[in-house]
Chain A
Amino acid sequence: DIVMTQGALPNPVPSGESVSITCRSSKSLLYSDGKTYLNWYLQRPGQSPQLLIYWMSTRASGVSDRFSGSGSGTDFTLTINPVQADDIATYYCQQSRESPWTFGGGTKLELK
């Protein structure tokens, strides 16, 4: 199984700053079609997860351009710039390269 490992944040983060959340996969998520199958979700307290980024860097419909995704085949970054109060949530990376689909452990964002 592909293991997804997320980094922690130096919480709390000042509002208005730029924040980067890291994620690493144990296997390359680059597929033969040229797409990298890495997704990012956010989950606000008490709510369902919602899709932010797919194919490593494509924003989902309606997602603010303050959110951006980047990376290589195994190392990925979600950047929020600038971070706002509404961004308080836990962020998950997830691979859809192959089954079983696996998630990172989550990274919690707290604001100062």
Chain B
Amino acid sequence: VQLVESGGGLVQPGKSLKLSCSASGFTFSSYGMHWIRQAPGKGLDWVAYISSSSGTVYADAVKGRFTISRDNAKNTLYLQLNSLKSEDTAIYYCAREGSSTGDYWGQGVMVTVSS
């Protein structure tokens, strides 16, 4: 199982960014997937979930601003981040939902929101 995030970077407040998570080593379409973030020096903070049938759930802090999606043909998970705020600055991890919320995690991608 391998999960590789990409798409992070430095972005100004109010702007947008799209993260990707490329999955391999398992049948991607059969698993729910999560995005979980970690602000610098802080703990883990769940962001969003998409089921194998593409049902979605969001944390209140990102609802209406972030969109989780998946492309099973490309074995890729996405997170569209709009109207970014400084408090969205964090490492963003994708994680596979197995017997737990995250039985496998990616290496993470850094998003910095600053002017």
Interface of A toward B, CB cutoff 8 Å: 39, 41, 43, 48-51, 54-55, 58, 60, 92, 94, 96, 99-106
A106 vs B42: C-alpha distance when bound (angstroms): 9
A96 touches B106 (CB 8 A): no
Interface residue tally for chain B (C-beta within 8 Å)? 20
Q: Which of B59, B102, B104, B105 contacts A100 (CB 8 A)?
A: B59
A48 vs B34: C-alpha distance when bound (angstroms): 14
Interface of B toward A, CB cutoff 8 Å: 34, 43-46, 49, 57, 59-60, 93, 99-108
Q: Which of A54, A100, A106 contacts B100 (CB 8 A)?
A: A54
Q: List chain A residues, Cβ under 8 A from B49.
A: 99, 101
Q: List chain B residues, Cβ under 8 A from A101.
A: 34, 46, 49, 101
A100 touches B101 (CB 8 A): no
Query: Smallest Cβ distance from A90 to chain B, in angstroms?
Result: 8
A49 touches B45 (CB 8 A): no
Q: List chain B residues, Cβ under 8 A from A58.
A: 99
Given the contacts A48-B93, A49-B93, A103 and B46 also touching, CB distance less than 8 Å: yes
In order of increasing CB-CB distance, the 4 nearest A-B pairs are: A54-B100, A39-B100, A48-B105, A103-B44
